[in-house]
Structures are given as C-alpha cells and as structure tokens.
Amino acid sequence: MIVVFSTASRTDLDRIWSYIASDNPRRAITFVRQIVAQSKRLADMPRRYALIQGRETTGIRRMPYGNYLVFYRLGDRGVEILRILGAAQDHEAILFPDETPDR
C-alpha cells in the first residue's frame, strides 16, 4: 500500500515548516521530515487509528503527532493524507466547510 499526500496536506506541511522555521529552522526541517515519515508508516497499518467520531461515514481517520493531527483515509490508491492540522484548529470547519454552521 502506498501513501499519497494531497495538495492541501503539502500546503499544510509548508505552513508548519514556515511557522517553526521562524523560530528554529533546523527544527522545522527535522519536524516536517518526522511527520512525513510517521505518515508514511500508515501504509503498514492504515486502520490503526480510529475514524473521526460522528463522521464515520466519511472514512476519515486521524493520527496524532505532537500538537498536530494527520487526517487521512483509505482510497483506491492507498492511504491518502488529506490534511495536517494543528490540534487547536477548527477541524470540522476545515474538513467539512459545507456542513459546518456559521459561527
């Protein structure tokens, strides 16, 4: 099974790198490499992490990594990394923008 990073997840990685690099460029490189490596390990055990509670029908799962959550699902091509978001971000609004009521 392969792991594929969506365009949005690659943009998320760029943003994470930029945020960390503003304080510590070396750590930014290391952290992004680590989160990518951990995400690629999903190929071995893709069902290791639970489906998003209340959103089971979407097939989206989340893997915690530090203060971030890697959202992914199993697809025809393997494991698709959808987004990599900070734990404090509004995941519902980002992942399901058409279904989230205005706040």
Q: With 70 as the cut, is the pLDDT of residue 46 above it?
A: yes
Number of independent structural domains in the chain: 1
Q: With 80 as the cut, is the pLDDT of residue 103 above it?
A: no
CATH code of 74's domain = 3.30.2310.20
Give, for 86, the enclosing helix (H) or strand (E). strand 78-86
In a domain, 87, yes or no: yes
Mean pLDDT of the residues in the chain: 94
Q: What pLDDT is stored for residue 101 in this prediction?
A: 59
Confidence of residue 102 (pLDDT cuts 50, 70, 90): low
Each residue of 29-61: b (16+ CB within 10 Å) or e? eebbeebbeebeebeeebeebeebeebeeeebb
Tens-place pLDDT, residues 66-88: 999 999 999 888 999 999 999 99
**Domain housing 78:** 3-95
Three-class DSSP category at 79: strand
Give, for 29, the enclosing helix (H) or strand (E). helix 25-40
In a domain, 100, yes or no: no
Confidence of residue 99 (pLDDT cuts 50, 70, 90): confident
